[in-house]
């Protein structure tokens, strides 16, 4: 969900985890001139077509290839070097964004999936405190942002499994502790 705490959680995890990098979906938005506008005049940023998703996938693959001994925790480890189990050389990539699980080419890459949720009122309140470039136009949240969130959330619930849902209204430290503990448990399993 927009303004759910994805970037904050990712940045805090990066500081706590060894050899950790972040790729943010926000870095792959198309320029405003390439983003479609609907009949109401809303720029359609909350859709996959507003992003260079192929470039994002390439960036993730490039990161993975540059860490050939990467042991990013998986339910079914792939391309994991045997020596990782006996060393501390584990590399972790956090990919954060709002439409990650709705883009099929990425779904084969995920090892762990977390989804932050917020109720409508809290999401709208947080969104109103942020400054976007270009700025949200009046009615944009109700007319585009929230409907697209509901649409994509319903799609992922129908088509995606193994998602850990996190309540974005909980204190940041509680969310951080939950995800960090989960990752540490997975790392321990990997080393066994």
Check: CB of residue 33 under 8 Å from CB of residue 50: no
We find that the CATH architecture of domain 6-69+89-190 is 3-Layer(aba) Sandwich (3.40)
**For this structure, is 26 an active site residue?**
yes
The confidence score (pLDDT) of residue 155 equals: 92
Compute the distance between CA of residue 43 and CA of residue 45 in angstroms, rounded to an integer.
Answer: 6
Q: Which two tokens stand for residue 77?
A: 């480890």
H or E segment to which residue 6 belongs: helix 6-16
Write down the pTM of the prediction.
0.85
Q: Which residues pair with 97 in a beta bridge?
A: none
* Residue 141 per-residue DSSP state: I
Write b or e for each residue in 105-124: b if 16 or more Cβ atoms lie within 10 A of its Cβ, otherwise e. ebeebbbbebbbebeeeebb
Angle between helices 120-128 and 146-159 (to 10 degrees): 130
Compute the distance between CA of residue 112 and CA of residue 71 in angstroms, rounded to an integer.
Answer: 13
The confidence score (pLDDT) of residue 83 equals: 34
Among candidate residues 26, 27, 54, 167, the one labeled active-site is: 26
The confidence score (pLDDT) of residue 188 equals: 84
Low-confidence ranges of the chain (pLDDT < 50): 69-87
The confidence score (pLDDT) of residue 68 equals: 53
Tell me the CA end-to-end span of the chain in Å, nearest whole number.
Answer: 35
- H-assigned helices in 84-138: 104-107, 120-128
H or E segment to which residue 180 belongs: helix 172-191
Compute the distance between CA of residue 66 and CA of residue 45 in angstroms, rounded to an integer.
Answer: 31
CB neighbours of residue 77 within 10 Å: 14
Hey, where are the domains in the chain? Answer: 6-69+89-190
The confidence score (pLDDT) of residue 88 equals: 60
Check: CB of residue 136 under 8 Å from CB of residue 127: yes
């Amino acid at each position: 969900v927009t303004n759910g705490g994805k970037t904050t959680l990712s940045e805090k995890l990066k500081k706590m985890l060894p050899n950790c990098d972040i790729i943010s979906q926000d870095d792959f938005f198309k320029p405003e001139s390439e983003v479609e506008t609907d009949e109401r005049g809303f720029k359609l940023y909350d859709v996959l077509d507003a992003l260079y998703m192929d470039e994002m996938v390439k960036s993730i693959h490039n990161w993975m290839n540059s860490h050939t001994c990467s042991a990013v925790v998986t339910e079914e480890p792939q391309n994991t070097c045997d020596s990782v189990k006996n060393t501390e050389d584990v590399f972790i990539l956090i990919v954060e964004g709002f439409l990650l699980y709705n883009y099929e080419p990425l779904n084969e890459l995920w090892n762990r999936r977390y989804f932050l949720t917020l109720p409508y009122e809290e999401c709208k309140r947080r969104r109103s405190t942020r400054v976007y470039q270009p700025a949200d136009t009046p009615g944009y949240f109700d007319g585009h942002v929230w409907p697209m969130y509901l649409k994509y959330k319903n799609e992922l619930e129908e088509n995606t499994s193994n998602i850990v849902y996190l309540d974005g209204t909980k204190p940041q430290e509680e969310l951080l502790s939950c995800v960090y503990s989960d990752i540490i448990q997975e790392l321990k399993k990997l080393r066994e």
